[in-house]
Amino acid sequence: MLQNFVVPDLYPAAPELFLALMICVILLVDLFLAQSRRWITSLMTMSTLIGCAAITYATADGQSVLTFSNMFVDDLLADFLKLMLYFSVMVVLVYSRDYLVARGLDRGEFYVLVLCATLGMMVMISAAHLLSIYIGLELLSLSLYALVAIDRDSSRATEAAMKYFVLGALASGLLLYGMSMIYGATGTLEIGGIAQSIAMGSANKTVLVFGLVFLVSGIAFKLGAVPFHMWIPDVYHGAPTAITLFIASAPKLAAFAMTLRLLVYGLFEMAHHWQVMLMIMAVLSIALGNLAAIAQTNIKRMLAYSAIAHMGFMLLALMSGVVGEDRHFMINAYSSAMYYVVAYVLMSLGSFGMILLLSRAGYEAENLEDFKGLNRRSPWFAAVMMILMFSMAGIPFFIGFFAKFSVLLAAVDAGHVAIAVFAVMFSLVGAFYYLRVVKLMYFDAPTDAAPITASLDMRIVLSANGVAVALFGMFPQAIMSLCTYALVRSM
């Protein structure tokens, strides 16, 4: 048996191997550090992510390379999404540090769990096999369950973690069952092999459709799309805000990559089946997300329902790739979906970063009332929050507007005019609760006169985050062309 073993090419997986090694090193080093020297763990974590980015950039040659018995792929799509992933996690760490220190949560396990979740997301992004997708997904999910419950003294966080764990286990079961049915129908677990089997007509179509239903259900849970959205408001609200920031940003990139790998790369010949499912979920997510967000007084819950609506928009682009037998729209549609996810992550980082900025020791700034009169306390950060809210609402000329516009354009090109009009109408509904935050900041008297205290690095990164949302709105082609190029070179 050992004679037939072929040593895999480790070069394409160099960032993952480096990260796995550094997780072990950080885990060991942290054991010998006093609480007063926890900054060393934070610095090592940040350095690890910078190292991963450097390795990913250095190994990106634009070629698609398969390794580990065709279970792992290194292509331009994976490289681009991983670089965005490292950036997101680094921003999360900068925003979170003051918040965690003030609450005694600045412990070694936070950094190790964040890196484990990052490793899981990297595996999901590069997965070319159903087994590697599932391994990456479970590594991410288990890390997130532990992170949500990291504040052991909070009954709210413990309850949120339990809900997330139970519903997450159910979703993982659905996904795994769908994968087993697809394996039964095609006789292979490789994504490329599945696509080939379906194209040759050798797959059992009935079993394949059943497997597809379970697969899409599992994907919808990870994206937080209706009707598998139940966990999002409770987890966003119950988890410590620093953890909510992490859940609301980086995992969306991995979930998008998983969706693209499974549905577009593996089950593209079944597009007429899964596009209908995505259409229903998109419409329901946009409607329910925007309507439910209006009733919220807690900004974390408001942004949770907003996330559901935003994922509905992303699904709107994914369902517009194939019209009948015409595949001319696919690159435009899928690159629009990718652009939307990147834009959403950028906006989400800034929005939750503002909540962390206003929070302090013994005080959670998570209600809408906490933003009253922010303009009088800090005109600059009120302007940053206004930019983020305008962008989320899709008001010109911010990155959120062009993200929505590109998705709607893709939907109209594919002939889904009625759904595009429906999405625009509910975007107007959604504008209400975003603009309500702006009204509170600029037209209401402040209820809290405490000065805003935050470290210099957080102020700089949060300011840059707001400026980036505005600048990429004025020059949207910069990211859009990168998304299109990465997708074209990887398909």
Three-state DSSP state, 175: helix
What is the pLDDT, as a whole number, of residue 74?
92
Instruction: Show me where the domains of the chain are located.
Output: 9-490
Q: Do residues 91 and 349 make contact, with C-beta atoms less than 8 angstroms apart?
A: yes
Mean of the per-residue pLDDT values of the chain: 92
pLDDT digits (tens, 9 = 90+) for 381-417: 999 999 999 999 999 889 999 999 999 999 999 889 9
Please compute, for residue 154, the number of CA atoms within 13 A of its CA located in the half-sphere on the CB side.
21
What is the pLDDT, as a whole number, of residue 3?
57
Please compute, for residue 419, the number of CA atoms within 13 A of its CA located in the half-sphere on the CB side.
27
What is the pLDDT, as a whole number, of residue 366?
86
Q: Do residues 115 and 19 make contact, with C-beta atoms less than 8 angstroms apart?
A: yes
Instruction: Provide the 8-state DSSP code for 325.
Output: T
Q: What is the mean pLDDT of residues 79-91?
A: 96
pLDDT at 362 exceeding the cut of 80: no
Tokens in use for 252? Answer: 């969306």
Interatomic CA distance for residues 445 and 412, integer angstroms = 44
pLDDT digits (tens, 9 = 90+) for 137-177: 999 999 999 999 998 888 999 999 999 999 999 999 999 99
Tokens in use for 391? Answer: 């962008």
* Per-residue pLDDT band at 452 (split at 50, 70, 90): confident
225 φ, ψ to 5°? -95, 150
Interatomic CA distance for residues 33 and 412, integer angstroms = 57
Sequence-separated (6 or more) residues with CB below 8 Å from residue 420? 316, 408, 411, 412
What is the value of pTM for the model shown? 0.95
pLDDT at 1 exceeding the cut of 60: no
pLDDT digits (tens, 9 = 90+) for 283-314: 999 999 999 999 999 999 999 999 999 999 99
Percent of the chain with pLDDT over 90: 75
pLDDT at 451 exceeding the cut of 90: no
What is the pLDDT, as a whole number, of residue 2?
52
Percent of the chain with pLDDT over 70: 98
* Per-residue pLDDT band at 480 (split at 50, 70, 90): very high
Query: Considering all CA atoms of the chain, what is the largest pairwise distance in Å, rounded to the nearest integer?
Result: 76
* Per-residue pLDDT band at 5 (split at 50, 70, 90): low
- CA distances to 21, 23, 236 from 116, rounded to whole Å, are 11, 7, 20
Tokens in use for 279? Answer: 């259409």
Interatomic CA distance for residues 456 and 454, integer angstroms = 6
pLDDT digits (tens, 9 = 90+) for 6-27: 778 888 899 999 999 999 999 9
Q: Which long-range contacts (CB under 8 A, 24 or more apart) does 426-430 make?
A: 426/286, 426/287, 426/290, 426/291, 426/309, 427/290, 427/393, 427/394, 429/290, 429/291, 429/294, 430/289, 430/290, 430/293, 430/306, 430/309, 430/392, 430/393, 430/394
What is the pLDDT, as a whole number, of residue 152?
87
Q: Do residues 373 and 292 make contact, with C-beta atoms less than 8 angstroms apart?
A: no
Interatomic CA distance for residues 347 and 309, integer angstroms = 14
What is the pLDDT, as a whole number, of residue 303?
96
| N residues, the chain | 491
pLDDT digits (tens, 9 = 90+) for 325-355: 667 778 999 999 999 999 999 999 999 999 9
Sequence-separated (6 or more) residues with CB below 8 Å from residue 434? 306, 389, 390, 392, 393
- CA distances to 102, 104, 408 from 362, rounded to whole Å, are 8, 11, 43
What is the pLDDT, as a whole number, of residue 243?
95
pLDDT digits (tens, 9 = 90+) for 258-290: 999 999 999 999 988 999 999 999 999 999 999
Q: Do residues 191 and 266 make contact, with C-beta atoms less than 8 angstroms apart?
A: yes
pLDDT at 47 exceeding the cut of 60: yes
- CA distances to 241, 353, 456, 460 from 95, rounded to whole Å, are 10, 6, 11, 10
* Per-residue pLDDT band at 439 (split at 50, 70, 90): very high
Q: Identify the helix (H) or strand (E) that includes residue 65.
A: strand 65-67
Q: Do residues 21 and 48 make contact, with C-beta atoms less than 8 angstroms apart?
A: no
Instruction: Provide the 8-state DSSP code for 187.
Output: S
Higher pLDDT, 247 or 62: 247
Q: Identify the helix (H) or strand (E) that includes residue 108.
A: helix 108-126
Q: Do residues 475 and 363 make contact, with C-beta atoms less than 8 angstroms apart?
A: no
3-state helix, strand, coil in the chain (%, to 5): 80, 5, 20
Interatomic CA distance for residues 19 and 232, integer angstroms = 28
226 φ, ψ to 5°? -65, 140
